[in-house]
Homo-oligomer: A and B are copies of this chain.
Amino acid sequence: MFDDVTVIGAGRAGSTIAARLRERGVVLRDDAELRLLCVPDRTIPEVARTIERGPWVAHVSGGTALSALEPHTTRFSVHPLQTLTTRRGAEQLDGAWGAVTAETPEANERAVWLAQTLGLRPFALADDARALYHAGASIASNFLVTLHRAAAELFEQAGVPSEALVPLMERTIENGFELTGPIARGDWETVERHHAALRGSDLEPLYSALAEATRP
């Protein structure tokens, strides 16, 4: 659909996307038919304004409205719903989903093509639902890091190896997020012992908010 693409930005997203497009035989060059903005969210409007009107313009941000691409009207976005690291290459897009936002059938066709060319499973995201979507993604990934940090800190304090947490967390996902443990059993004495162990620590408010949200 696009024979050539200009990838703007070489961070985690830009370098991964460029590698995948290259693998798929898409030519990467300046002034291409599609200008793909892989720059930090807050700089999208200013970069978009530097592009002369004419080509398709798109961004890969989950939290940024299409209006950030003004004055362009031939526009769309594809957000790879994945945590990307510079230690991996294009293969890290495999198996991930991609949020596609477009205002016209033509734009949608191009957005879906891009998602599929990147190896993403596309789904439609309404422009005005982005904040909810992106908050959900952030909770699922970024706050998972926070949970692990908190648990690892407690394991360290208890003198036990924090790598033991990994098979537990992996299996929690693999088991379809089935709730087990004291809250699932209604064992409030054990929950109270956790509270007591954390009293006065930085982790106490976090534990309380999470325990409250977990109760049936």
Chain A interface (Cβ < 8 Å from any Cβ of B): 12, 40-42, 63, 81-85, 87-88, 92, 95-97, 99, 121, 123-126, 129-155, 157-161, 163-173, 175, 177-185, 187, 189-190, 193-194, 196-198, 202-203, 205-214
Q: Is the CB of A149 within 8 A of B173?
A: no
CB distance from A146 to the nearest CB of B (A): 4
Residues of chain B lying within 8 A (CB to CB) of residue A124: 159-160
Number of copies of this kind of chain in the complex: 2
Main secondary structure of the interface of A (DSSP, over half): helix
Q: Is the CB of A158 within 8 A of B132?
A: yes
Q: Is the CB of B136 within 8 A of A152?
A: yes
Residues of chain B lying within 8 A (CB to CB) of residue A175: 83, 85, 87-88
Residues of chain B lying within 8 A (CB to CB) of residue A41: 182, 187, 189-190
Given contacts A167-B95, A189-B42, A210-B143, contact A131 B197 (CB under 8 A): yes
Q: Which residue of B lies closest to A63 (CB)?
A: B190
Q: Is the CB of A140 within 8 A of B135?
A: no
Q: Is the CB of B123 within 8 A of A136?
A: no
Q: Is the CB of B141 within 8 A of A158?
A: no
Distance, CA A187 to CA B39, complexed state (A): 13
